[in-house]
Structure 1
Amino acid sequence: MREGFVVPDKWKWFTESRYGLFIHWGPYAQWGRGEQVLFREHLNHEEYAEQACAWNPRHFDPELWAYTAKKAGFKYACLTTRHHDGFCLWDSAFTDYSSAKQAAGRDFVKEYTEAFRKAGLRIGLYYSWIDWRLPAYFDGPQKDPEGWEIVRTYLHNQVKELLTNYGQIDHFFFDGVWPRNADDLQSVELLEEMRKLQPNILINNRLGYSNKIDGYRADGGIGAGDSDTLGDFGTPEHAIASEATRLWESCQVTTWRLWSHVIGERWRNTDVLLDMLCECAEKGGKHGGNLLLNVGPTADGQFPPEFVERALEIGRWLDVHGEAIYGTDGGSLTEFITRGRQTMKDNKLYLIIRFWDGRPELRLADLTSRVLDVELLTTGQSLPFEQDGDTLIINGLPREAPTRLFPVIRITCDGKPATNEWGEVRLWEGDPERVAAWARERRGASVYVDGRER
């Protein structure tokens, strides 16, 4: 995707959604110390595999998962079909190391896709290139060309299998490129095959660097940047970093750090999680700006109650304020950091108030569009306002915040909301002459109180 690129109709669902659910789940949940416990604690491979094969999550109910996700306001989901430990959650024809062929005897990918699709949610699948069990992946084509060819064929076959057997797949999230690159993996060639199987699919950027094919570079990890051109969307991890030239999606945890179920992990507060969603929407514009918020189900297949509590609270907020998030065109129209965030849609500007000060009046500078109506969306209350040039004064705000989370004010303009130079260029940006002129015209040039020379 390049500057001037228009998002095709087949991908507009992504920019309209803004909010997806990431599900990190696998046999590693039995250890309760993160999805990478096998490597990070250098566990015995044989003992790990024995416990993984015995994993049988009897309380996994995909319809309950889908119901919760829908009620929480998510528009799509992405399930880890196979993480770095190599254990597969589907009935793969290419290995017996799977939930279908071991103790559980179930194809969890099939159950997930059917339940979430039935609930009206878009379907995403996560797949890790890396498999800690396979030496040839780390030796690579230079050290073990024969072994590497077997591994690469295995990876390609599994990806194509996932895109063949489970209906329409909307979103595909690769991970774990290191230490290979796009040329080793032949990821560019695989993408062509993936698009033949699923013409409408969105594929992320974790595909490795290519030295052979001009212009194809991708970070293969957690960053985001204009140089990462391979893949349909960027995936900043544990960060919200907008990309101007393609779709992007910030993947974030609901806990402090780890992705799968962890016993004793600390949980982020609901307002922190909601603010991440609002920040993604504010920075998104028409080229993405989604939040992929993670949950790590327990080993027996249940969403942790701490997650459900927070997710449903955000869902209730979205029931009232969702128009300020879903399908918005970004925001940050004017300088508003002292109050909160902004998003826009058509002729409406939404003020998402992070800091409610209890004062009856709110001053919004630098809005040049003529205002037709102002409403406290949280309560439906119409608010009186005055407009003097590019300054809008909103009155009648209640002393008490009308919601525990973020109240939202909807401003309806006579056209697309517009701003002046101060809104377009912020603090620490642009030509400093405008700041000098502002000080000179408003007070003078000296160090004295009145700005006059002595």
Structure 2
Amino acid sequence: MSLQTKAFTVPDKWKWFTESRYGMFIHWGPYAQYARGEQVLFREHLDQKEYAEKAASWSPKHFDPELWADTAKKAGFKYACFTTRHHDGFCMWDSAYTDYSSAKQAAGRDFVREYVDAFRKAGLRIGLYYSWIDWRLPAYFEGPARNPEGWAKVRAYLHNQVKELLTNYGQIDHFFFDGVWPRNADDLGSIELVEEMRRLQPGILVNNRLGYSSTHDGYRADGGIGAGDSDTLGDFGTPEHLIVADQKRLWESCQVMTWRLWSHVTGERWKPADVLLDTLVECAEKGGEHGGNLLLNCGPTADGEMPPEFVERALEIGRWLEVHGEAIYGSDGGSITEFITRGRQTTRGHYLYLIIRFWDGRPVMRLADLSSRVQSVKLLTTGQELAFEQSGDELFIKGLPVEAPSRLFPVIRVECVGKPQANEWGRQRLWDGDPLRVADWARSQRGTSVFADGRER
């Protein structure tokens, strides 16, 4: 398995990922019947047999994968990732290695097959989630040292299921492992498994939740306890509930639309559409050549319906993307100049996009420290060409309306001669860069003293 460095070039087979920027995560399984999160079995220490009986009897009647796919497409998602098996061990496909599945129990349906067929037909890239962990299997937690025979069976089961998923469902573009704890990459044989995955699916992207390896990651004080993210293994990083750029590879931030839980929860609080859109924009702004995607979650109900709160917010963002998508899809990152007092920035080729979170109603906007010569400025939200004046590294954008032209974020597109560039001040930010520049700025413009005029007494 090849290791990537900070300067890696994205292969052509993976450029769809950086073009997409926006994916849909789907957490759905028999745990939705409890409506208290996907980990309810463990977190509430439920009776294992009772849970299994309820899972086996689960038979959702309103699951319509084509409706899901249609909604995802209208919402502006470019790919999706579906939970084939979460930590409870229930399989959402027709596995040859267990009867604890949607296909062999009451539902009698291969939900992975239905998802793949519908989303592929709608033109979305296909991702699959698979949990290493299985709360039903003692040997997983005992491990190879305490139970070598049991562990060998568990590991074979895991490997066989992953290979099964990558053999029976056509092209799989994206694979999301989860739940390494308390094992590591050497226990799991994850490096060998990924090699086999690449043989079965040469174009696949595999995430970094493969466990720490003594060979590739070296000694880690936590022994891999936690998310199991590897510093070196995996094609893309997966920061969860936060946005942190991974400098070594592609990355996507996985986030919920609610306050915390991934699967359907009765009474959960929902984030508003502008907060969710800002999360997407922040990912794109921080992206650059190494990725910067948002994988935004939906937790369908036990009966197979997308919650109306999800649909409402997703479609509102989708309508914004219909107009402003060029600022997100295939963008090259942003934050060319300091812009936090207004909003965020992304770039694409010769364009700089000003994504305005705070519309103040003033007719003129000043953008400091842009060294590139500007050719044109457009209010992308309405299509209006805007007058502008450029004086040195200052750009003044004129003729802005008093009222914000969009309930969500209006976008101004600045066309530059060549790739947008900033001066030295623009490249260095608050709490960063050379502090002497601040001293020079203060000295040259006001003096050195604590008095109002800056003059020494």
TM-score range normalised by the length of the shorter chain: over 0.9
- Contact 1:344–1:350 (8 Å) recurs in 2: yes
1:149 and 2:152 correspond: yes
Q: Give the C-alpha shift of residue 453 in structure 1.
A: 1.5
Which residue of 2 is the match for residue 184 of structure 1? 187
- Contact 2:143–2:183 (8 Å) recurs in 1: yes
Q: How does 1:8-87 map to 2 (within 5 A)?
A: 8-87=11-90
Which residue of 1 is the match for residue 257 of structure 2? 254
Q: How does 1:355-370 map to 2 (within 5 A)?
A: 355-370=358-373
- Contact 2:76–2:321 (8 Å) recurs in 1: yes
Distance change in 2, residues 1:90/1:260 (3 Å): same
Which residue of 2 is the match for residue 376 of structure 1? 379
- Contact 1:353–1:406 (8 Å) recurs in 2: yes
1:347 and 2:368 correspond: no
- Contact 2:210–2:228 (8 Å) recurs in 1: no
Distance change in 2, residues 1:85/1:309 (3 Å): same
Paired with 1:222 and 1:153, the residues of 2 have a C-alpha distance of 22
Paired with 1:433 and 1:353, the residues of 2 have a C-alpha distance of 31
- Contact 1:128–1:175 (8 Å) recurs in 2: yes
1:245 and 2:248 correspond: yes
Q: Give the C-alpha shift of residue 212 in structure 1.
A: 3.5
Deviates more, 1:214-223 or 1:301-310: 214-223
Which of 103, 107, 118 is residue 104 of structure 1 equivalent to?
107
Q: Give the C-alpha shift of residue 221 in structure 1.
A: 5.0
Q: Give the C-alpha shift of residue 213 in structure 1.
A: 4.3
Paired with 1:38 and 1:249, the residues of 2 have a C-alpha distance of 28
- Contact 2:362–2:400 (8 Å) recurs in 1: yes
- Contact 1:175–1:220 (8 Å) recurs in 2: no
Which of 257, 264, 268 is residue 265 of structure 1 equivalent to?
268
Structure 1 alignment gaps of length 5 or more: none
Paired with 1:219 and 1:18, the residues of 2 have a C-alpha distance of 29
How many residue pairs match? The answer is 452
Paired AA for residue 152 in structure 1: R
Paired with 1:412 and 1:223, the residues of 2 have a C-alpha distance of 43
Which residue of 1 is the match for residue 388 of structure 2? 385
Paired AA for residue 37 in structure 1: V
Q: Give the C-alpha shift of residue 223 in structure 1.
A: 8.7
Q: Give the C-alpha shift of residue 431 in structure 1.
A: 1.5
With normalisation by structure 1, the TM-score equals: 0.98
SS in 1 for 2:286: helix
With normalisation by structure 2, the TM-score equals: 0.97
- Contact 1:364–1:392 (8 Å) recurs in 2: yes
Q: Give the C-alpha shift of residue 222 in structure 1.
A: 4.8
Q: Give the C-alpha shift of residue 25 in structure 1.
A: 0.1
Paired with 1:212 and 1:97, the residues of 2 have a C-alpha distance of 35
Q: Give the C-alpha shift of residue 393 in structure 1.
A: 0.4
Which of 91, 100, 107 is residue 88 of structure 1 equivalent to?
91
- Contact 1:259–1:296 (8 Å) recurs in 2: yes
Which residue of 2 is the match for residue 301 of structure 1? 304
SS in 2 for 1:286: helix
1:446 and 2:449 correspond: yes
Which of 135, 142, 163 is residue 132 of structure 1 equivalent to?
135
Paired with 1:381 and 1:214, the residues of 2 have a C-alpha distance of 52
1:282 and 2:285 correspond: yes
Q: How does 1:223-238 map to 2 (within 5 A)?
A: 228-238=231-241
- Contact 2:217–2:232 (8 Å) recurs in 1: no
Paired AA for residue 276 in structure 1: T
- Contact 1:253–1:293 (8 Å) recurs in 2: yes
Question: Which 4+ runs in 1 deviate beyond 2 A?
Answer: 212-224
Which residue of 2 is the match for residue 321 of structure 1? 324
- Contact 2:126–2:173 (8 Å) recurs in 1: yes
- Contact 2:182–2:225 (8 Å) recurs in 1: no
Distance change in 2, residues 1:219/1:389 (3 Å): farther
Paired AA for residue 159 in structure 2: H
Q: Give the C-alpha shift of residue 4 in structure 1.
A: 1.3
Deviates more, 1:215-224 or 1:294-303: 215-224
Deviates more, 1:409-418 or 1:440-449: 440-449
1:211-265: per-residue Cα shift (whole Å, max 9, x none)? 14466989675597xx711100000000000111210100000011000000111
1:289-333: per-residue Cα shift (whole Å, max 9, x none)? 000000000001010000000000000000000000000000000
1:19-58: per-residue Cα shift (whole Å, max 9, x none)? 0000000000000000000000100011000000000011
Paired with 1:159 and 1:63, the residues of 2 have a C-alpha distance of 25
Paired with 1:374 and 1:276, the residues of 2 have a C-alpha distance of 25
Residue identity over aligned pairs, in percent, reads: 78
Q: Give the C-alpha shift of residue 447 in structure 1.
A: 1.4
Which residue of 1 is the match for residue 203 of structure 2? 200
- Contact 2:31–2:55 (8 Å) recurs in 1: yes
Structure 2 alignment gaps of length 5 or more: none
Q: Give the C-alpha shift of residue 340 in structure 1.
A: 0.2
Paired AA for residue 279 in structure 1: E
Paired AA for residue 170 in structure 1: D
Paired with 2:378 and 2:216, the residues of 1 have a C-alpha distance of 53
Paired with 2:266 and 2:406, the residues of 1 have a C-alpha distance of 32
- Contact 2:355–2:410 (8 Å) recurs in 1: yes
1:433 and 2:404 correspond: no
Paired with 1:88 and 1:214, the residues of 2 have a C-alpha distance of 31
Paired with 1:412 and 1:255, the residues of 2 have a C-alpha distance of 37
